[in-house]
Structure 1
Amino acid sequence: MRRVLLTGATGNWGRATLRELRERGDRIHVIALVMPTDRDREAIAEFADMENLEVVWGDLTDAATVIACVQRVDIVLHVGAVVSPLADEQPELAHRVNVGSMRNLIEAVRALPAPASVAVVGIGSVAQTGSRNPPHHWGRVGDPVRVSRFDEYGQSKVTAERLLVDSGLPKWVQRRQTGILHPGMLEIRDPIMTHSPFGAVMEWVSAEDSARLLANLCEPDVPDTVWGGIYNIGGGDGWRLTNWELQTAIGHAMGVRDIRRWYDRNWFATGNFHGQWYTDSDRLEQVVPFRQDSFEAVLDRAMAAAPSCSIGRASARLDREAPDHEATHPTAPRNDARHPNRQHPGDFSAFRLTRAVASDRDVVDVPSTLPVEASHTPGSRLRRVEAPSRMGPPRLPRSGDLPRRPPAEHRSGPR
């Protein structure tokens, strides 16, 4: 029986990993280190009947707790982290948890009589290589590590990765995770939803495929060549989208014929946000196969899991009626931590689109115009966007510079 320590078990990826490991109960026992908060208790309650799960209540930043857990396992899946937008709002917390937890895990393994008996799977991020707008949108492990400005989450992951790589541990591997498509994305009500430039790219992956990857790493037949390396996690060719393609796909799935009516173009950043397509993400699939999902299937599942986001029959009214500014304009201005020099038009935590699926309430649009800066401000993600009040298609690079997939012979393996 393989014994696995899972951190971050109550997050989207963590819960997906528990669901996958539950199906392997005949050969894998899971110890989940979980914070004793109301939110975490509620999330882990889903697995109350999981026979091969043991919950340890504790904090990753508590070295004694981490040591006690590491002494009982064969492999550590270190998914737990403080992520954006919270990491940007509380950078000290992000570094304390993301860097401190990695340090605690490394020291706990080092202290074992046989450090080689425990493997450590570290999780990095696509955020580590920062803004990769076209025409520099193809990347690989080995490219410069340079996070976007003000991205404290990305910086904390760079530091944690360096600790693991330089740790001297006999058995470790680092996985840099890309954007995970999951139902919770449809419920985001935070300014971070406007940080991705429409003309930029991301190679996405599903939570289920990501969970399958981690579970497969726990199996005894993992090739020895896996250990001691850094890999990009990505869904492959079918998951490589521009951010505009993602927005329109989600809009169509929600029943919106023209997603441009939902947004003002000037809300969105034009640079300084991470995302790339990988030339080397197939390496991981070749060594530890994990891909089963398609983008279309996962989007369908996300919509089914979040029925309140499907406006269906009401979308026709959204497309033809003028916006109701009184109903949609946020009420309290605030600054966005990722864009400290830009005043957001309001508090996005209270921002909503009213859905008329189960009621007679009107479906309302977002405001058609919002103030923008007079000029580019150094230190800000955003610069002035010369665009009409109604958003047109994103201003992608001109034809010769459009994001393009490389020839098939260059799509896998390191350059």
Structure 2
Amino acid sequence: MSAPVLVTGAFGQVGKRVTELLLSRGQAVVATDLRTATALATAEELAVARPPGTLRTHFADLLDRDAVETLVVDHRPGTIIHLAAMFSPQSYRNPRSARRINVGGTENLVHAGRQLPAAPLLLFASSAAVYGSRNPHRHPERITAETPVAPIDQYGEDKVLAEGIITGSGLPHAFLRLGGVLSPDATAGINADHLVLIRATPGDNRLHGIDARDAALAFANAVDRRDSIDGKVLLIAGNDSYVRTHRDVEDSMFDAMGIGRLGPSASLPGDPADDRGWAFTGWFDTTESHALLDFQQHDWPETVAWVAAAQPRFLRAALRATGPLLRPAIRTALALQRRIEHRGPYAEPWSLIAARYGSQALAGGSGETGS
């Protein structure tokens, strides 16, 4: 029997779909996550489905080095898919906790993996955030695996530090740097902090999205392709139908929810003369990653339809009916909020983020360079 796959963050947006895919293929999966009501419900759903693979669920804290070592040594995974993290913008509120989880947790996992007699393949979920602010007027080319990392925020810096730990570990590994992951889960989980991040992002900022089902497929397929991906940086985003702007993606999601498109006036543009005036997303060259992992199975309209179908019918109908009133009200509220914040003609996202969360939300702001 093949060695099991250990999945951290196994019941999150991508994790639960990776776990489900592996189980459907008859794979034994050791699924670990923090114990929450959502994680418990997801674990129960997967168990009730009775897939051909074997699911072993362990709720563990990656900050507990002894517990992580016990988990890894007891199960001896052949592959570790490391998805667990504290994501932005939540991480902006708790940068020190985020660093302990994102960097220290990775360090504990690497330490445990190195105790095994047969080194496991470590597949790390990294992010477009490692590339920092991308001014499309000065960098019209797509991001490639060779594009230098230059994180501008704390979350991107965490990912770069974690990648460094893995690179230095000697373990076989691959970094799967994700674009903007889209699913019904993402729209349902939007809170006030996400709305700040959305407002901060220039409307004409490049955004390369990916359907969460395709992101999960990339990780699942990577499990059996150790020799061809070891040591690689793989850019994980959708096909060219997902090459869009922030304003277009946001409007498509608003439309899927029933509100309708807000239009260009809902966002401020980026400053063409300011390299720090853009968000940390760009368009990926996915030629190599797709050739190796064969994960781009959906088109943009399918993702939008998936999000729309997941909305409660009565709510979507109500939003559709009130949309003609809601849209101008939202646009007016956004304009008023910008005036109160004394924002100028350009988005200046990192000025807004720093004003809201403090300088610790930016790279170098925490005063820490490791776990």
- Do they superpose with TM above 0.5? yes
Superimposed CA distance per residue, residues 144-198 of structure 1 (whole angstroms, 9 cap, x where no aligned partner): 21112xx2211111100011112222x2111111110111332312222223211
Partner of 2:31: 32
Partner of 1:184: 185
Return the alpha-carbon distance in structure 1 between the equivalents of residues 82 and 322 of structure 2: 46
Closer, same or farther: CA 158–234 of 1 in aligned 2, 3 Å? same
Partner of 1:140: 144
Return the alpha-carbon distance in structure 1 between the equivalents of residues 347 and 318 of structure 2: 43
Return the alpha-carbon distance in structure 1 between the equivalents of residues 327 and 221 of structure 2: 51
Q: Does the CA-based 8 Å contact 1:226-1:287 persist in structure 2?
A: yes
Closer, same or farther: CA 292–310 of 1 in aligned 2, 3 Å? farther
Within the candidate set 85, 88, 92, 1:84 is matched to 88
Partner of 1:10: 11
CA drift at 1:367: 6.0
Superimposed CA distance per residue, residues 279-325 of structure 1 (whole angstroms, 9 cap, x where no aligned partner): 2x12111112122111111110111112369644753543257966x
Within the candidate set 327, 351, 357, 1:381 is matched to 351
Partner of 1:114: 118
Within the candidate set 53, 71, 80, 1:69 is matched to 71
Q: Which amino acid aligns with 1:381?
A: S
Superimposed CA distance per residue, residues 29-80 of structure 1 (whole angstroms, 9 cap, x where no aligned partner): 0001122333432332222324511001211111222222322211100111
Unaligned residue ranges in structure 1 (runs of 5+):
329-363, 384-415
Partner of 1:278: 284
Return the alpha-carbon distance in structure 1 between the equivalents of residues 328 and 291 of structure 2: 50
Partner of 2:164: 162
Structure ranking higher on relative contact order (CA contacts 8 Å, 6+ apart): 2
Return the alpha-carbon distance in structure 2 between the equivalents of residues 374 and 107 of structure 1: 46
- 1:236 and 2:239 equivalent? yes
Please state whether the residue corresponding to 1:276 is helix, strand or coil: coil
Return the alpha-carbon distance in structure 1 between the equivalents of residues 84 and 121 of structure 2: 16
Superimposed CA distance per residue, residues 1-38 of structure 1 (whole angstroms, 9 cap, x where no aligned partner): 3310000012101111122123112xx10001122333
Q: Does the CA-based 8 Å contact 2:247-2:263 persist in structure 1?
A: no
Please state whether the residue corresponding to 2:117 is helix, strand or coil: coil
Partner of 1:22: 23
- 1:248 and 2:217 equivalent? no
Closer, same or farther: CA 63–88 of 1 in aligned 2, 3 Å? same
Which of 1 and 2 has greater Rg?
1
Please state whether the residue corresponding to 1:373 is helix, strand or coil: coil
Please state whether the residue corresponding to 1:278 is helix, strand or coil: coil
RMSD: 2.9
Q: Does the CA-based 8 Å contact 2:270-2:348 persist in structure 1?
A: no
Please state whether the residue corresponding to 1:180 is helix, strand or coil: strand
Please state whether the residue corresponding to 1:64 is helix, strand or coil: helix
Partner of 1:406: none
Q: Which amino acid aligns with 1:42?
A: A
Closer, same or farther: CA 314–289 of 1 in aligned 2, 3 Å? closer
Partner of 1:369: 336
Correspondence list, 1:348-359, <5 A: none
Q: Percent identity?
A: 27
Partner of 1:200: 205
Return the alpha-carbon distance in structure 1 between the equivalents of residues 226 and 47 of structure 2: 33
Return the alpha-carbon distance in structure 1 between the equivalents of residues 232 and 80 of structure 2: 16
| Between 64-73 and 39-48, the greater mean CA deviation after superposition | 39-48
Q: Which amino acid aligns with 1:64?
A: D
Partner of 2:102: 98
Partner of 2:324: 319
Return the alpha-carbon distance in structure 1 between the equivalents of residues 332 and 87 of structure 2: 30
Partner of 1:301: 306
Closer, same or farther: CA 241–323 of 1 in aligned 2, 3 Å? closer
CA drift at 1:106: 1.5
Closer, same or farther: CA 174–311 of 1 in aligned 2, 3 Å? same
TM-score of the superposed pair, with normalisation by structure 2: 0.81
Superimposed CA distance per residue, residues 101-137 of structure 1 (whole angstroms, 9 cap, x where no aligned partner): 211121112222333xx11111211000011132225
Q: Does the CA-based 8 Å contact 1:272-1:381 persist in structure 2?
A: no
Unaligned residue ranges in structure 2 (runs of 5+):
272-276, 354-371
Aligned residues: 333
Compare the two structures and name the one with the higher helix fraction.
Answer: 2
TM-score of the superposed pair, with normalisation by structure 1: 0.73
Superimposed CA distance per residue, residues 185-224 of structure 1 (whole angstroms, 9 cap, x where no aligned partner): 32312222223211111111111111111111223xx261
